[in-house]
Amino acid sequence: MSVFKGAGVAIVTPMYENKEVNYDKLGELLEEQVARGTDAIIICGTTGEASTLSHEEHLDVIKYAVEKINHRIPVIAGTGSNCTETAVYLSQEAEKYGADALLLVTPYYNKATQKGLKLHFSTIANSVKLPVILYNVPGRTGCNLLPETIVWLVEHVENIVGVKEATGNISQVAKLMSLAGEDFELYSGNDDQIVPIMALGGCGVISVLSNVAPEKTHEIVASYLEGDVKRSCRLQLEAIDLVDALFCEVNPIPVKTALNLLGKEAGPLRAPLCEMEEANEARLRKAMEAYGLL
């Protein structure tokens, strides 16, 4: 059984102007996502600025999300690290707090070999009992998790169930799915490739777009799963300009800006992330207006 099928939101971490975590606003965003049809919450991922949260904050945010959602939809905790021991610690704590699954990004900066990646992910997954979704995003980590390595991990580690695929390389995804078994769980990590990845056997998306357009993102996946590929494709293409604008600067700068433009009070970003360039913010605003959000 899949961890989830549909559109999971890689949710932002709202902050006060002093850069402390704003739990009240986080609670509001979580409730809104549930009410608007989102199928899973991914907490403390890239979009949640996990890399600039302290370990204590990281775990507090996970705990808060688990308690707020209270089993209504799955909560998937981002507990990856470029240090295997740190990832084990975060993963074990998230399990204690009641997370439904874990999302483990490839180690960043270290640039591990494929052998090292097998060791890293096996060590973390074997330290917990929760389902584990790997996260392959070489554009941010400098490390590509190859299809053969992913399949080896799924075959040799019982609770590694699939991957969030954000290479942008459809040929690599096709190679992966040609090697993977029927129960393998493939999630798009790119909002502009939901339909292509669904066509290769995907079961959903872990989405930035869902922060601002949860219903539409859910509908892209739901339409495909219901067999209405034409509608799914139309909805995907209608979102392309907005998706491009949401990634015209490094994530989560644009999506936090978008939420602030919508009056959601997501707050500022922690350094080294910073406010959007004026020209890019104007582009984002225009795309949001065209999509009917403003």
Give me the residues paired with residue 131 across strands: none
Q: Residues 170, 199: contact at Cβ < 8 Å?
A: no
Contacts of 104 (CB under 8 A, 6+ apart): 78, 79, 80, 87, 91, 121, 124, 125, 132, 133, 134, 135
Radius of gyration of the chain from Cα atoms? 18
Amino acid identity of residue 179, one-letter, is L
Catalytic residue among 164, 216, 256, 264: 164
Is residue 196 helix, strand or coil? helix
Residue 109 backbone class (left: φ over 0; alpha: ψ -120 to 50; beta: rest) = left
Q: Distances from the Cα of 132 to the Cαs of 26, 103, 122, 163, 188, in angstroms?
A: 24, 6, 10, 8, 15
Residue 230, burial from CB neighbour count under 10 angstroms (0-12, 13-18, 19+)? exposed
Is 164 designated active site? yes
Q: Pairing state of beta strands 160-165 and 185-188?
A: parallel
- Sign of torsion, CA 8 234 232 176? negative
Structural tokens at position 134: 């790997």
Catalytic residue among 25, 68, 135, 256: 135
Contacts of 26 (CB under 8 A, 6+ apart): 11, 13, 14, 61, 64, 65, 68
Is 115 designated active site? no
| Active site positions, annotated | 135, 164
